[in-house]
Amino acid sequence: MSNSIESTLVETRVFPPPEGFVKQANISGRAAYQALLTQADDDPDAFWGQMAREHLHWTRPFTQVLDESNAPFYRWFGDGELNVSANCLEANIERGLGDKEALIFEADNGDVTRVTYQALYEKVCQIANGFKQMGYQAGDRVIIYLPMSVEAVAVMQACARLGLIHSVVFGGFSSKALQERIIDVGATLVVTADEQVRGGKNLPLKSAVDEAIAMGGCEAVKHVVVYKRTGGNVIWHEKRDIWLQDLMKDQATSCAPVAVNAEHPLFILYTSGSTGKPKGVQHSSGGYLLWAKLTMQWTFDAKPDDVFWCTADVGWVTGHTYITYGPLAAGMTQIVFEGVPTYPNAGRFWQMIERHKVTVFYTAPTAIRSLIKAAETNAQFHPKSFDLTSLRLLGSVGEPINPEAWMWYHINVGGERCPVVDTWWQTETGGHMLTPLPGVTPLKPGSCTTRLPGIAAAIVDETGADVAAGNGGFLVIKRPWPSMIRNIWGDPERFKKSYFPEELRGYYLAGDGAQCDADDCFWIMGRIDDVLNVSGHRLGTMEVESALVSHELVAEAAVVGRPDATTGEAVVAFVVLKGATPEGEQATLIAKQLRDWVAKEIGPIAKPKEIRFGDNLPKTRSGKIMRRLLRVVAKGEAVTQDVSTLENPAILDQLTKAV
């Protein structure tokens, strides 16, 4: 376990929730929180049943809340039926919000498009009717490889309307990664765009789909629907490809939602694990949507006149839950942003908050840290140069937020009046698990604080026994919850082994090390497996290793994380070539070749920040690579551990010098 960002600041102050905030909060004051917590702990079935009846529209009411008969394959609201898209669109139109803005889209170049709930409904229906006409039916899998856009949200919603199972692939992933996901999920339809626009540049997307399909194994794909974003050049496959705009043109603007079982998979989203192959995390319809909506109300204190902005991409779970589903289920107005935080300059986020009068802002520590640097070197990009008084609540997600970044965010962006909710959760959890409630929880910079009502989070040892307050251990969730992962697509054995190891008494194992203090506040210490967190993105070391060894020059590779002041962790690769170990300019050249190779195999986010070449890797006599030592070397620290069990201790010297 490693704490990725080493803090120089130890902030021990506690920030109580501002009185003004408490007064108006959806959950206001400790007693209200405690009551929900107790209610959920004492009778989970009654609690979740009541929440699901109150917050969702069911076309067929459920009679059973939780079915544990086939644990850990839990079923929630298992005989109920609903439609997720109708819960996000019709439900709001019927309560008079048709003319309310659902999405305010700001393009990379600053152009703004406003879409009301009624207009979004019509767009979603036209797309759904198009898909239906092409013959797609509930249960079919759709790969979505789209840039941040109104269309991305609408296509996901259109899938939900028909019961099609979407699997969004982040636009930064390579054609190889795309091909693997198309095959694993068995997609018959792919939706993409001609190009994406980021930071003033047009980047191809459609050509990556063409490449992925040409690699083979994707024969099941019948159509590629292409959203024309830029009008850039594309190669067209007459029988297979169709423009999204053409598909929608003559379609009716209403489309009956298909009622699905609460357990019907809403989506599959791939995430990295500790082995080479990414896992297809399968989520449900009913339980997932319930938690997406509830956490909007609890964590983000959703109010009718809020302008919500989550800066994530819909390629990640944050964009699923807190862009496509949660804010719409809660009837909010939200910003959808196409671009990057540093274009045209590092003031972009603050300028957009001012322009759109954003009230609730949700971003990642890595973005904050990179903007701190820019703001502290150029006052023009400092949040203080903008009017950010519309803000009332700030959120953080994806990695531990170091106290320096927390304090800067709190003071300079939040003007010391906005609570900061540091939300801990995962692709697998579907929504927030540990987080402050802004009208309840005293904030401790660096801690994601307390568990949400209904979430039985705890710290245990390797036998599943509780550890005392203040001691480190495994973060587990002892009872199932509605938005939990249902399966790993096509691999139920891996699902059981990864998340419900027998020795942990059937608890959900999150994969994070953590501790819980005497105030029931959780402190995340880092992953316990070979998973890195680079800029809030999960990356398996084995995944990067597999990519490296698939290069013709490489004999062996070991990948570790190193703390990085901006990205949290950085990828460092130790590589043994088949030929002689390169030095000087040759080493630089091959390192560049290998970095580009990894970008091609996985995507630019997986590129090693540093590659060190050696004649060998430090191994035990039984041949196990000593990653623990490599982590020390990667940090640039001296190895003080006992290395007498190593087969080849001299290799450490070589790797230490090989910078």
- Using CB under 6 A, list all residues that contact ligand WT7: 271, 316-318, 397-400, 422-427, 448, 510-512, 524, 527, 533, 538
In the DSSP assignment, the letter for residue 66 is: E
Contact 472, 459 (CB under 8 A): yes
Shortest separation between residue 477's beta carbon and ligand WT7, angstroms: 12
Residues with Cβ within 8 Å of residue 189, at least 6 apart in sequence: 131, 134, 136, 140, 141, 142, 143, 164, 221, 222, 223, 224, 225
In the DSSP assignment, the letter for residue 320 is: I
Shortest separation between residue 41's beta carbon and ligand WT7, angstroms: 23
Shortest separation between residue 586's beta carbon and ligand WT7, angstroms: 36
Contact 281, 269 (CB under 8 A): yes
Nearer to ligand WT7, 316 or 481 (CB): 316
Nearer to ligand WT7, 285 or 299 (CB): 299
Nearer to ligand WT7, 1 or 112 (CB): 1
d(CA 272, CA 215): 22
d(CA 347, CA 378): 10
Shortest separation between residue 261's beta carbon and ligand WT7, angstroms: 26
Summary count for the chain: helices (H), strands (E): 21, 30
Nearer to ligand WT7, 210 or 422 (CB): 422
Shortest separation between residue 431's beta carbon and ligand WT7, angstroms: 9
Shortest separation between residue 318's beta carbon and ligand WT7, angstroms: 5
Least Cα distance to 559 among 531, 587, 584, 583 occurs for 531
Shortest separation between residue 294's beta carbon and ligand WT7, angstroms: 16
Nearer to ligand WT7, 398 or 453 (CB): 398
d(CA 362, CA 332): 14
d(CA 511, CA 638): 28
Whether the upstream peptide bond of residue 344 has omega within 30° of 0, thus cis, is yes
Phi-psi domain of 51 (left: phi exceeds 0; alpha: psi -120 through 50; beta: other): alpha
Nearer to ligand WT7, 399 or 545 (CB): 399
Shortest separation between residue 213's beta carbon and ligand WT7, angstroms: 27
Nearer to ligand WT7, 510 or 570 (CB): 510
- In the bound state, the residue with its beta carbon closest to ligand WT7 is 427
Burial (Cβ within 10 Å: 0-12, 13-18, ≥19) of residue 379: exposed
Torsion of CA 55, 303, 121, 132, to 10 degrees: -40
Shortest separation between residue 310's beta carbon and ligand WT7, angstroms: 11
Nearer to ligand WT7, 265 or 511 (CB): 511
Nearer to ligand WT7, 512 or 543 (CB): 512
Nearer to ligand WT7, 251 or 321 (CB): 321
Q: Over the Cα atoms of the chain, what is R_g?
A: 24
Query: Which DSSP string do the residues of 581-631 spell out, in sequence order?
Result: PP-HHHHHHHHHHHHHHHHHHT-GGG--SEEEE-SS--BBTT--B-HHHHH
Residue type, 373: K
Residues with Cβ within 8 Å of residue 214, at least 6 apart in sequence: none
Shortest separation between residue 510's beta carbon and ligand WT7, angstroms: 6
